[in-house]
Amino acid sequence: MKTAIFLYDRSGIMAQPWLDNGYECVLIDGQHEDGLHADPDNPMLKRWGMWVDAFETVNRFNIGYKIRKAFPDIVFIFGFPECTNLAVSGASHFKAKIAHDPDIQRKALANALLVRDLGVLSNCPWAFENPVSVISTMYRKPDFYFHPYEYGGWIKEEDSIHPCYPDHIAPRDAYPKKTCIWSGNGFIQPTIKPIEPEAGYSRQHKTLGGKSLRTKNIRSATPRGFALAVCESNRRQN
């Protein structure tokens, strides 16, 4: 069965268009219940509760082997690696973090590059996202950048209100947030369909403060328009 893998993905927003097009989809994230579980309402959707530590070579091999053994026909991979120790918005804290753990950024980068490694092993298109970050210097420059509003036109007017966070995310993703995409192995950059963004910062930035898990989940929620565009551009290769 053709399977799309989504690493570090709690919400499933990126997976939904693939599900709608008949693909088996697997969300891998430590916030899911431990182990591999099919969604009770849709057995084509699986959630795999697994915290990933890809820093050591043996760990990367074991994680890749486990995923490939469970799903031998992987045709697409996308990842949302944790940005806390990589994003330049937190650069003022880097010195103290590195003093506490000299490998802290290399560990975070290894988790991001697991997406690439699994894509290479599976011989399929892969990509991962992060805000502007030190990945650009530690690994390489992104393949492209985007803001969510640039893909807002992919969302139908009747679906404009966000289904999960209507109070915090503008209708049709009409907000700016510079996001970097690293990709490879045939991943196709999707065509933009921009709409006019709301003025100023995003609602997430204006209304959400602190460091709670809920705040992080909302701020990092996948733009729905981008998810639709990525699927439309890349599923046709399979």
For 238, the token pair is 């399979």
**Domain residues for 39?**
3-237
What phi, psi does 94 have (nearest 5°)? -60, -45
Q: How many helices (H) and strands (E) does the chain have?
A: 8, 7
Strands 3-7 and 74-79: parallel
Per-residue pLDDT reduced to its tens digit, 207-219 = 655 567 666 666 6
Strands 126-131 and 179-184: antiparallel
Quote the pTM value.
Answer: 0.92
What phi, psi does 27 have (nearest 5°)? -100, 120
Strands 126-131 and 74-79: parallel
Lowest mean pLDDT among 34-38, 69-73, 174-178: 174-178
Q: Is the pLDDT of residue 203 over 80?
A: no
> Residue 50 in 3-state DSSP?
coil
Average pLDDT over residues 207-232: 78
What phi, psi does 152 have (nearest 5°)? -60, -25
Per-residue pLDDT reduced to its tens digit, 140-164 = 999 999 999 999 999 999 999 888 7
Cα–Cα nearest to 181, from 225, 129, 137, 228: 129
Q: What is the C-alpha to C-alpha distance for residues 218 and 210, in angstroms, rounded to an integer? A: 12
User: Any long-range contacts for 213-217 (C-beta under 8 Å, 24+ apart)?
Assistant: 213/31, 217/10, 217/11
For 157, the token pair is 């007017």
Kindly provide the residue ranges of all beta strands, DSSP E only, lying in 115-174, ordered along the sequence. Answer: 126-131, 144-146
CB 53 within 8 A of CB 64: no
CB 38 within 8 A of CB 45: yes
In what helix (H) or strand (E) does residue 214 lie, and over which residues does it extend?
A: helix 213-219
- For residue 171, the domain's CATH number is 3.40.50
Average pLDDT over residues 27-34: 96
Number of domains in the chain: 1
Strands 24-39 and 3-7: parallel
Q: Is the pLDDT of residue 88 over 90?
A: yes
Kindly provide the residue ranges of all beta strands, DSSP E only, lying in the chain, ordered along the sequence. Answer: 3-7, 24-39, 42-49, 74-79, 126-131, 144-146, 179-184
Average pLDDT across the chain, whole number: 92
Given pLDDT bands bounded at 50, 70 and 90, which one contains residue 171? Answer: confident
Task: HSE, CB side, 13 Å, CA atoms: give it for residue 205.
Answer: 10
Q: Quote the radius of gyration of the chain (alpha carbons, Å).
A: 17
